[in-house]
Amino acid sequence: MNHIALLRRAYRALGETTPIFEDCGQLCGQACCIDIPDEETGGDGKGMLLLPGEAELLSYTGYAKLSRIELKGAFARPVWFMTCRGQCPRRLRSMACRLFPLIPYVAPDDRQKDIPPFSIVGDPRGVALCPLAQTGYRHVEPAFYMTVERAVSILWESKAMRSYFISLSALLDDYFRFL
């Protein structure tokens, strides 16, 4: 399956929809976009995990740094991680940036199914930096939830994408335990 074509379809499905009707970066000073030095990610800090095919799609842009990282216990192989300089062309953001502070999640009991159901939930990693997460996601627009679900449904056509989100869900389980 052509991951780049799926990603482009999902990007189009999201369009310009955002978590709130204003620039949510105004609430937090663009906290999810600013790099902070961190040894684990090769000297860069905050960033986003990339979906299958996304590193290839975004590598030519020049505004972001892409690196392979290992997340022991969650993913079977290294995954691509993207950090940026704090500002990027909105049309070139990664899927994780476009979905934040929401994320698709596959419940533990469903992870062994060929095509497991998913739900769109608040990303527990966002609680540390996102005011929308810190208020229990109650200010995230319902239209954003629906648009994210539509975009993820497109990605769900790919077994590799489903596998990625199942692995990510297992990683998120550790975060959910602390909420």
Q: How far apart are CA 172 and CA 99, in angstroms?
A: 15
Query: What local confidence, expressed as pLDDT, does residue 25 receive?
Result: 72
Query: What local confidence, expressed as pLDDT, does residue 43 receive?
Result: 47
Query: What local confidence, expressed as pLDDT, does residue 54 receive?
Result: 92
Query: What local confidence, expressed as pLDDT, does residue 44 receive?
Result: 47
Q: How many residues does the chain have?
A: 179
Q: How far apart are CA 141 and CA 83, in angstroms?
A: 26
Query: What local confidence, expressed as pLDDT, does residue 53 receive?
Result: 92
Average confidence (pLDDT) per 10 residues, the chain, 179 residues: 91 90 72 57 65 87 78 81 74 87 96 95 88 88 95 96 94 87
Query: What local confidence, expressed as pLDDT, does residue 46 receive?
Result: 67
Contact by Cβ (8 Å): 12, 147: no
Task: Report the 10 Å Cβ neighbour count for 20.
Answer: 14
Which residue, 78, 14, 115, 88, is CA-closest to 6? 14
What is the widest separation between alpha-carbon atoms in the chain?
41
> 163-176 burial, b if ≥16 CB within 10 A, otherwise e?
ebbbbbbbebeeee
